[in-house]
Amino acid sequence: MHACGHDAHTAMLLAAAYGLSRERERLAGTVRFVFQPAEEGAAPSPVDGELRSGGRDLVESGAADGIDAAFALHVWPGLETGGLAIHRREAMAASSHFRFTFRGRSGHHGAPHLAADALLMAAHFAVEANSAVAVASDPLEPVSFAFGKLQAGTAGNVIADTAEVLGTYRAFSDATVKRIRFVLERCASACADRFGGTVEPSFRMGKALINDAAAVELAAGAGADVFGADQVHVLDQPSLAGEDFAYYLDKAPGAMLLIGVRDEARGIVHPLHHPSFDLDERAIALGAKLHARAAVAFFGAGLGIKEHIGFYVVKPTQERPCVGFFCYIDRYCPPHRNVCVSAV
């Protein structure tokens, strides 16, 4: 279950946009708000068939063109409400999604020699891939590899002709990301061939999220204004979670911020993607104020952002700097269609 707080992210950004609109004449630049679908989704591109996330698709569609800085935030259940965390440099790993479709021949359990068992291919792959990735990875480099789904067959007494295995792997080095892909493809091909079948791989390649030092400093200052300096934590140890916000940072310097939503007294303690995940909704107002304060700080406008927060975008010009704020929504939006960008 992708329980990740994207509804709260949307509310925070909408509220920030509403509040900033009330000060639009005093802002010394353009604010662009991007409501991005499919942050962890992946669908084949109609252009080249490659799996793409919403972030990559929007960036390639021009959503981040012309911006001077980019910021995003994510709810973080490991941090108490009222706290803010920012990674100093490496923030999140390149999270690459994979799907292997094994194809065999269906048949009767009483005559397995006349069939090719796709479930058996997938089961061997699920076991062997872990060892293959382990020995192909530098033990001094952070790497995470896990399966999330294995699906095969239609009945308990019929040999499966198709099986699918889905999962992700995460690393920071581009070379490691490419090497693991090669190892997985080779392992899957060997498992399929061993039992008389074939395999079709598909990948949604990830990108490591690297914060910009100046953007981190600016965001920390904005966070201190909203949360208090003692509640802003600058982190040196990166997370092996993944975010396709990394694609926006190819266009401009920026940072991903983590806002605390944990409240142990109310039982709000479950991690992201847990079926019981919840968040302390008091964090929504704090996130909205943080978005607004970061925009003001970037422009150096000296505005006091108090209780009003809001929705504002203006047409970019060459004379006015542009800052982009990004959030994710869980509704799926097919690549290259229905681009969800608020930019007037």
Question: Whole-angstrom Cα distance, residue 64 to residue 289?
Answer: 22
Paired strand residues for 209: 92
Name the pLDDT band for 322 (thresholds 50, 70, 90). Answer: low
Lowest pLDDT segment from 169-173, 191-195, 250-254? 250-254
Name the pLDDT band for 1 (thresholds 50, 70, 90). Answer: low
Question: Whole-angstrom Cα distance, residue 325 to residue 69?
Answer: 9
Instruction: Give pLDDT, residue 189.
Output: 98
Mean pLDDT, residues 174-178: 93
Pull the structure tokens for residue 105: 């021949």
Model confidence pTM above 0.85: no
Paired strand residues for 102: 163, 199
pLDDT digits (tens, 9 = 90+) for 119-139: 999 999 999 999 999 999 999
Question: Whole-angstrom Cα distance, residue 15 to residue 285?
Answer: 8
Q: Checking DSSP bridges between strand 232-235 and strand 341-342, what pairing results, if any?
A: unpaired
- The structure tokens 């935030």 sit at 73
Percent of the chain with pLDDT over 90: 47
Lowest pLDDT segment from 127-131, 234-238, 314-318? 314-318
- CATH code of the domain made up of 6-89+211-342: 3.40.630
Residues of the chain with CATH 3.30.70.360: 95-204
Listed in sequence order, the residues at least 6 apart from 261 whose beta carbon sits closer than 8 Å to its beta carbon are 5, 8, 75, 76, 77, 79, 81, 268, 279, 280, 283
Mean pLDDT, residues 281-299: 89
Residues of the chain with CATH 3.40.630: 6-89+211-342
- CATH code of the domain made up of 95-204: 3.30.70.360
pLDDT digits (tens, 9 = 90+) for 51-110: 667 677 788 778 888 888 889 989 988 889 889 999 999 999 999 999 999 999 999 999
Q: 41 φ, ψ to 5°?
A: -80, 165
Please return the burial class of 128, using the count of CB atoms within 10 Å of its CB with bins 0-12, 13-18 and 19+: middle
